[in-house]
Amino acid sequence: MTDITIALSKGRIFEDTAPFLKAAGIIALDDPETSRKLIIDTNKPNVRLIMVRASDVPTYVQYGAADLGVAGKDVLLEHGGMGLYQPLDLQIARCKMMVAVPEGFDYQSAVFQGARLRVATKYLKTARDHFAEKGMHVDLIKLYGSMELAPLVGLADAIVDLVSSGNTLKANYLKAVEEIRPVSARLIINQAALKLKRTTIQPMLDSFESVVGVT
Ligand code: ADP
Ligand code: MG
């Protein structure tokens, strides 16, 4: 039996991926939210899950430490996608990559006047590409989380972050002013593994595909 390792991250990706795994007959034997184990066995003796940081999922799959993974498009854009197939948009963990500014800030006039904005984000590549495409000069400041704080304490004029309900922005007196792109999580597959383990991976892929849009 061919061994398969699937890289997932805790939280919404793990939760939203469960129905896809179930469709493929895979059930985790431990709950990663409560277990401290980083390798989680499943009901299938040849399939295991590894729990890694969301932004590390593409790296594990790229190097073949995992055969498959589930990663947000946000993370995949920053990673670059080397060595990965991205055959399936699972349409889970849906949100939007957006530019947000303090409620009182007139973003459109700042853009129109060619103001040089300071933008805080953990998505440097996506932000750089977006503002370059708009012909805007920005100074990017790399953060690792809680981007909403940056404009409140004078670190930045704007942020680039993921937005779903907008409640976090609202709670921090920010508003979304520009959509960069929609974001959802994708199935990713190591390119070599897909060739070598096709007979095992293809049926899993078919099962996953049958659940897209149903969850
Ligand atoms: P981390 O805090 O390590 O970035 P998250 O669980 O917050 O992990 O995010 C994991 C993935 O879930 C992100 O890469 C993104 O694709 C997606 N995501 C993040 N925030 C949201 C959100 N507000 N709504 C829907 N999906 C989101
Ligand atoms: Mg988060």
Q: Is the CB of residue 20 less than 8 Å from the CB of residue 215?
A: yes
The pTM score is: 0.96
Per-position DSSP letters for 24-54, written without gaps between them: TT--BSS-TTT---SEEEBSSTTEEEEE--G
Residue type, 190: N
For ligand 1, residues with CB inside 6 Å are 9, 11-13, 53-54, 72, 74-75, 93-95, 162, 164, 183, 185
- Joined together, the tokens standing for residue 77 give 């854009």
Which domains are delineated in the chain? Answer: 4-93+184-211 (3.40.190.10), 95-182 (3.40.190.10)
Looking at the CA of residue 12, tell me the nearest atom of ligand 1: 6
Residues counted in the chain: 215
- Among 16, 53, 95, 159, say which to mutate for ligand 1: greatest number of ligand atoms within 8 Å of CB: 95
Rounded CA-CA distance 95/13 in Å is 13
Residue-by-residue pLDDT tens, the chain, 215 positions: 899 999 999 999 999 999 999 999 999 999 999 999 999 999 999 999 999 999 999 999 999 999 999 999 999 999 999 999 999 999 999 999 999 999 999 999 999 999 999 999 999 999 999 999 999 999 999 999 999 999 999 999 999 999 999 999 999 999 999 999 999 999 999 999 999 999 999 999 999 999 998 87
Nearest CA to ligand 1 atom 26: 93
Ligand number with the minimum distance to the CA of 16 = 1
Per-position DSSP letters for 104-136, written without gaps between them: T--HHHHHHTT--EEEEES-HHHHHHHHHHTT-
Closest by Cα among 87, 78, 32, 43 to 58? 78
